Structure 1
Amino acid sequence: MRTGLTRNCEQVNQGSCYLGTRGSFESAAKRFMEKDLDVSVAGRSFMITGASSGIGKAVATAIAKRGGTVHMVCRNKDRAEETRVEIVKETGNKEIYIHILDLTETHKVWEFTEAFKRKFKLLNVLINNASSMLTQRELNTEGLEKNFACNTLGAYILTTGLIPLLEKSADPRVIMVSSGIMLVKKLRLGDLQSERGRFDGTMVYAQHKRQLVVMTEQLAKAHPNIHFSVMHPGWVDTPAVAKAMPDFHQSMKNKLRTPEQGADTVVWLAVSEAAAARPSGRFFQDRKIIPTHLPLAWTHSSLEQKERFMSLLEELGKAFQPH
């Protein structure tokens, strides 16, 4: 069975889904500079959402190995605690902290952000990795579509809320985990809550990943003291993919990347001097800046549309800000 994602992968790569597979990573890795990741980040603080499994867990482990303080932001307390034990055992780093947060609940994201700033005086790197791909349209307690609340608005509130803390910290960075599937989507302003037409969870996800690219570009312009980046991890074999897209997972399972391969560019963006030397606000895959649109694509948006999108996020965020 060809899923919406499978069909759109074919559009992305002219008839196949090899863009971002295990093979493409192994080919790209031949040009990687080993010294880029041969660093210590002791004394630096990293927040990673969705850190209890998949790419997030792999990123947390890699940073812990290099001595960083890791703040794991997770939804499931039991799984988070299991993951923390595993990371401490593997790395010997005990500076691993768990924060329980459901990013689909907008007011809770606000509350968490404010509480974190009160308790902690340092945050060098924020990694927005968590995402939601519900296949049926569901609303959160505020009446917002849950995928949007987590994937876009949650990332926006968390990032903008933590910017004052990031700006006070040395070499601040923000990394958004997007997806190459966003290449088949144009920024949509008129239906942020996916109320119109048939609800296709994978295409809603693709729209949100396009929104993250636009958000990163615009935040980089507004906050030049912070290095922003957004990236495609490739097609990765994670529990979330297996659950949300079983047909895609089954058909591609022998070509999917490992979580560690998917995490590689996130880690590189988070810790390396080479990444910080690249322009802020760009889209990366396999440690390289890549275009945010396919050749001759119809997916471009005007600056006015991008700025309007950011204004809509600001308005929505403020509407659900606790007082």
Structure 2
Amino acid sequence: MQFLLKIVTWKGIAYTIAVGSIVYGLKKYFGGGVCYCTARLDGQVVVITGGNSGIGKALAVELVNRGATIVLACRNIEKGLEAKKHILSKNRKAKIFVKHLDLCSFSSIVKFCDTLNLEFNEIYGLVNNAGIFYHPYGITEDGFEVTLQTNYLGPFILTHHLLKPLKQSIHARIINVASDEHRRVSINQLIAISRTQKDFKGHFVNYGASKLALVLFTKELAKKLQNTNVIVNAVDPGNVETAIYRNFYPLSNPVLYALQWIIRVVLVKTPTEGCQTLLHALLTPNRTTGQYYADCKLALPSPVAADERICREYYQLTLEVLASWFSTESEC
């Protein structure tokens, strides 16, 4: 009897070790790449939109540990101050500024940029991280579909209005946070959404379209800035557990959320894991521009996003759509 118990016990231990090893291996695999860059950013200013939570906050923690001065651009100042407090609790020497920025308001974007242009002569990095997914249909005060404006049109204006201090930095970097969902949208769908401005093709299509637009923008802006010290790259952070899913029913429902915990633990990245490719793009000595990064290495975007003609024409279309807001002085 004791012999049988020993066999059962050892089988249980072996089974537990085997399962644990598999789970650990899967977690390491789906956790993605890790940034091993050792470069420091002492005194360098990095602006992070959506920096009060998720990937943005995790990136801020990583950057202050490398000496960077961080500007958290947040729609909710109170949450931004909470994030600042959290970061300071980990690093008392951290230099952090919290500024109001609402990407659903072009006037807010211009005001934010005017403030930064006065306060900082140089900006090393701009991380267009803020974004929304599966958001209820809505039209912004500027007359655009809310997902397209938040994820693309807002960052487009923001980036151009901050080019002056970016160009003053010796090795400036613009990082646009994209998504693999950009592969699932056609250029015709994107143009239809962009031209009609208020068109809504569905949560997934509009989100994918906004991310495709961001990748197209990345490649065309990189070409326009190729004779400057500013490099521009797009980054796919992968599937990361953040508040971006707050409107997505399978994850916003408490019961369904709880039932999926083992799947999330294994297959979904933590914010710290999710920010690694952004960190890599900011710190790598590789000065390639107009590229697409995933898991801390160069990757290929969709064929549509790789088409130079499409990139150029969509950039011009965006300028036309934003004609009443776009400052010609801030063009490349």
Separation of aligned partners in 1, 2:311 and 2:73: 28
Shift of 1:102: 0.8
RMSD: 2.3
1:283 is aligned to 2:292: yes
- Residue 308 of structure 1: aligned partner: 313
Across the two proteins, how many residue pairs are aligned to each other? 289
Separation of aligned partners in 2, 1:153 and 1:27: 29
**Taking every aligned residue pair, what percent have the same amino acid on both sides?**
23
What SS does the corresponding residue of 2:73 show, helix, strand or coil? Answer: strand
CA deviation profile, 1:278-317 (whole Å, cap 9, x unmatched): 5201000111111112xxx6x4675333222111222333
Match of 2:242 among 221, 238, 246: 238
| Counterparts in 2 of 1:202 and 1:23: CA distance versus 1, 3 Å | farther
Task: Give 1:59's aligned amino acid.
Answer: L
Give the TM-score of the pair, scaled to structure 1: 0.83
Separation of aligned partners in 2, 1:207 and 1:309: 12
What SS does the corresponding residue of 2:323 show, helix, strand or coil? Answer: helix
Say if 1:227 and 1:280, in contact at 8 Å, map to a contact too. yes
1:268 is aligned to 2:272: no
Say if 1:110 and 1:321, in contact at 8 Å, map to a contact too. no
Task: Give 1:246's aligned amino acid.
Answer: Y
Match of 1:253 among 253, 261, 264: 264
Say if 2:33 and 2:277, in contact at 8 Å, map to a contact too. no
What SS does the corresponding residue of 1:70 show, helix, strand or coil? Answer: strand
Give the TM-score of the pair, scaled to structure 2: 0.81
Say if 1:136 and 1:199, in contact at 8 Å, map to a contact too. no
Shift of 1:199: 3.9
Say if 1:103 and 1:149, in contact at 8 Å, map to a contact too. yes
- Residue 50 of structure 1: aligned partner: 50
What SS does the corresponding residue of 1:191 show, helix, strand or coil? Answer: helix
Separation of aligned partners in 1, 2:249 and 2:97: 32
1:101 is aligned to 2:101: yes
- Residue 123 of structure 1: aligned partner: 123
- Residue 151 of structure 1: aligned partner: 151
Say if 2:220 and 2:290, in contact at 8 Å, map to a contact too. yes
Shift of 1:245: 2.0
Larger Rg: 2
Task: Give 1:304's aligned amino acid.
Answer: R
Task: Give 2:322's aligned amino acid.
Answer: G
Shift of 1:125: 0.6
Q: Where does 1:20-31 land on structure 2 (aligned, <5 Å)?
A: 22-26=27-31, 28-29=33-34
Say if 1:103 and 1:150, in contact at 8 Å, map to a contact too. yes
CA deviation profile, 1:95-151 (whole Å, cap 9, x unmatched): 100001111112221222122112221201100000123532211112111111111
- Residue 10 of structure 1: aligned partner: none
Separation of aligned partners in 1, 2:73 and 2:60: 11
Separation of aligned partners in 1, 2:129 and 2:74: 11
Task: Give 1:244's aligned amino acid.
Answer: N
Separation of aligned partners in 2, 1:72 and 1:27: 25
| Counterparts in 2 of 1:287 and 1:184: CA distance versus 1, 3 Å | same
Say if 1:109 and 1:154, in contact at 8 Å, map to a contact too. yes
Q: Where does 1:109-258 land on structure 2 (aligned, <5 Å)?
A: 109-187=109-187, 188-192=190-194, 195-196=198-199, 199-224=201-226, 225=228, 226-241=230-245, 243-247=246-250, 250=257, 251=260, 252-254=263-265, 255-258=267-270
Shift of 1:88: 1.1
What SS does the corresponding residue of 2:164 show, helix, strand or coil? Answer: helix
CA deviation profile, 1:222-244 (whole Å, cap 9, x unmatched): 00121111011010011222x12
| Counterparts in 2 of 1:28 and 1:127: CA distance versus 1, 3 Å | closer
> Bigger CA drift: 142-151 or 313-322?
313-322
CA deviation profile, 1:153-176 (whole Å, cap 9, x unmatched): 111111111112111112000001
